[in-house]
Amino acid sequence: MLDDCSRAIAEAERLDELTDLRSRAEAIRTWAKSANQSLEVQNRAATLRLMAERKAGKLLSQLRLRGGDRKSNGHDDRLKLSDLGITQNQSKRWQREATVSDRQFADYVRAASVLGAEITAAGLLRVAAGGKGKKAKARRGKAAKPPRDIQAGAPGDAIVDDPAGADEVTQDAINHVQMLQQILHPYASGKSGSLSNTQRRAVLYFLSEALSALRQSSLRRAE
């Protein structure tokens, strides 16, 4: 069912198709959770639901619906969100989810897998909020300020901004460092006395990935 749903989302081009597939993925996730299926199965269904929502969000942003409707083809009839089976809250949320880049989305899914965390729309929206803040800083032309002490910042906040023109390898390193910050911040600030076994494995994983990305970036610059 998950494989069929994944293929259908990739091929879907209409909002009604995507909303149906979104509901199907959510139904699978709900069943998997009630049947005590593994978190991996639940998260795969949740990922498909978010993929359908993100794709629907991109289509909705192209429609440029205002106040829930707009004139269609110059006629008096109006195209409404309700006609599409979508609420205004869903429309807003899905469009926000769609602002997350494909790379950031893949990083979020991978991080949740490594940490053994549940994939949710709220978690993805935190990524969207972080990206929006970084873009605003870039537009203002302000450099990111370093933390004043070891306790500065908050989980999910970036300790470095995405540098203008950063290549993909450098961006990977930045993403891995940001994930490390999220894991280690409670421990470094004294809010948590120790790291769980899962968090320790995640720290080793993201350290290894960050170092690998930095080495690749260094080699590219040397060339």
What would the pLDDT profile of 42-64 be if each residue is shown by its tens digit?
999 999 999 999 999 999 998 86
Q: At 131, is the pLDDT very low, low, confident or very high (cuts 50, 70, 90)?
A: low
Q: pLDDT at residue 203 above 70?
A: yes
**Per-residue pLDDT, 130:** 65
In terms of pTM, does the model score above 0.95? no
- Helix (H), strand (E) at residue 93: helix 88-98
pLDDT digits (tens, 9 = 90+) for 176-188: 787 777 778 788 8
**Per-residue pLDDT, 14:** 92
Rg (the chain; Cα; Å) = 20
Amino acid at 39: L
Q: pLDDT at residue 219 above 90?
A: no
Collapsing DSSP to helix, strand or coil, 70 comes out as strand
User: Structure tokens of 130?
Assistant: 């972080």
- Using CA atoms, how far apart are residues 172 and 105, in angstroms rounded to an integer? 12
Given the structure tokens 């769609």, which residue do they identify?
98
**Per-residue pLDDT, 165:** 42
**Per-residue pLDDT, 143:** 39
- Average model confidence (pLDDT) for the chain? 76
Choose among 33, 20, 21, 205: nearest CA to 112.
205
Q: pLDDT at residue 147 above 60?
A: no
Q: pLDDT at residue 105 above 70?
A: yes
Interhelix angle for 168-188 vs 102-115, to 10°? 40
Beta bridge partners of 80: 69
Contact 153, 144 (CB under 8 A): no
As a whole-number percent, the residues of the chain with pLDDT over 70 amount to 74
